[in-house]
Amino acid sequence: MTFELTKDYLEHIQSAIEAGDDALLRTEMEELYPADISGILYELEPEPAHYLLSLLDQPVGAEILANLNPTDRTNLIKTFTSEELAPFINQMDSDDAVDLLNEQPIQVREEVIGLLEDREQARFILDLLHYDDSVAGGLMQKELIKINVNLTVNACIEEIRQQAEDVENVYAVYVIDDVGKLLGLVSLKKIVLARKNAKIADIYDDDVVFVETYRPVTEVAEVMRKYDLDAIPVVNIQQRLLGRITIDDVVDVITEQAEEDIQVISGLSGEVEEADSVWQRSKVQLPWLVAGAIGSLLAATVINGFQSELGKVAALAAFIPIIGSTGGNVGIQTSSLILQSLTDTSGLSMTLAKRLLRTLLVAIINGLVVGLIAGTYTFIIGEPRLFFVVATSLLAVVLLASFMGTVTPLLLNRIGINPAVASGPFITTANDLIGIGVYFLIAQWLLAEV
């Protein structure tokens, strides 16, 4: 049955914490999954959350700490001493342990590493701390199963039994030579079905996909997606096996990238969460809001320059919103498709000329349909003389917005700027200016005799 955190249940847990009823809290937590307990911790202040976490079995507590939101986790960890934190770090996968320790002050990090009972875990962590989290080395975990190519299947099974104690998920067994160079992998199925005295050298698969430690995490995610991998080995420049990256870590990377892109496209200049302070949220939102306001003031200036046309035909003002919104929507839609295509690393993406041709054909169809609908509305409001003004203006705006939505991301990508920045408020504001200007120029031309 799915657990649902209610206000009454949360108050029940808070009361038990205040009363120091350890037995009740342990009983309640034993019935919940770690993810459910995480939901409770998010609702508690750091001190009560610390108290509740200290009552859990260390493996469960370690899993919860490893998966908490970094911001909430940092606030929670501040309530821990290094002696209290070290046992949880002992229970984590090395990559999760490094992620948590990287969020701590250097003094805390060094104290915790020095207190670890599992010295192999300490060595793993020290190895991984050297890598930036933007490359494969910073994403990998050291826990894996590797066997020497010269072993027999029987010896291999014994080796797997020993190594598997420290490995949470066994996706494959990696095969190395005497100096640790990655040669390939062998599936558990092949090991189980092979004769006990058979050599690993005779059954392993040397066609293995791997990544080097310096590869960007975005490239790692693309390789795993392309080849549908649950895990991928990581090697150094000499192709010695150092670790592996599992699918759950790649999903986290893809999720973070998507959240960042959504925030940039939405006009946020940095990371922001609902729980952030008023000033933090305002500081992130203001830059694009100011830019948008300046763009709107410029658009107002353009409108003011055509007061004579508005004086002649007041109904022109009624169509300003549709001109602006249509241009903005088309620009965002087109740029989103271009941004999606830029993630294609197959080398078979379309040329600029072909992209522009397809964009032109789509824009013509969309512009004609929207223009005819809006033009028809001019008859409904009793202004048939505006039919060609509105219909022609919308066709022109759709064409121009489609062109900008195509060219701007490609241009920014070419000069090394994140093309996602070209979306959202930037394109919307630019299209407002161009669209309204085009609208009034067409109105001035077609209504010259009015």
The domains of the chain are located at 7-134, 146-250, 278-446
Q: Provide the β-strand partners of residue 134.
A: none
Each residue of 158-194: pLDDT tens digit? 999 888 887 878 888 999 999 999 999 999 889 989 9
Give the residue from 402, 394, 392 showing the smallest Cα distance to 435.
394
Task: Please indicate whether the domains covering 146-250 and 278-446 agree at the CATH topology level.
Answer: no
Q: Assign domain 7-134 one CATH number from 1.25.60.10, 2.60.220.30, 3.40.50.1370, 3.30.460.20.
A: 1.25.60.10
The per-residue pLDDT for 386 is 87
CA–CA dist 315, 325 (Å, integer): 18
- Give the span between the Cα atoms of 177 and 373, in whole angstroms: 71
Residue 277 is predicted with a pLDDT of: 61
Query: What does the pLDDT read at residue 43?
Result: 92
* Percentage with pLDDT > 90 across the chain: 43
Strands of 170-270 (E only): list them: 173-176, 182-186, 211-212, 231-235, 241-246
Residue 181, classed as helix, strand or coil, is: strand
* Distance of alpha carbon 208 from alpha carbon 214, whole angstroms: 18
pLDDT of residue 269: 53
CA distances to 222, 325, 342, 403 from 363, in Å: 31, 15, 20, 9
pLDDT digit string (tens) for 89-144? 999 999 999 999 999 999 999 999 999 988 889 999 999 998 988 899 999 999 99
CB atoms within 10 A of CB 85: 19
Fold classification of 146-250 is CBS-domain (3.10.580)
* Res 349 pLDDT > 70: no
pLDDT of the residue at 24: 94
Q: Is the model's pLDDT at 416 over the cut of 80?
A: no
Q: What are the CA-CA distances from residue 168 to residues 184, 256, 399 (Å)?
A: 21, 24, 55
Which span out of 39-43, 302-306, 438-442 was modeled with the highest average pLDDT? 39-43
- Determine whether domain 278-446 maps to CATH 1.10.357.20: yes
Top mean pLDDT of 22-26, 246-250, 317-321, 373-377 is at 22-26
Q: What is the pTM of this model?
A: 0.64
Determine the pLDDT at residue 347. 47
pLDDT at residue 108, rounded to an integer: 92
| Confidence check: pLDDT of 267 > 60 | no
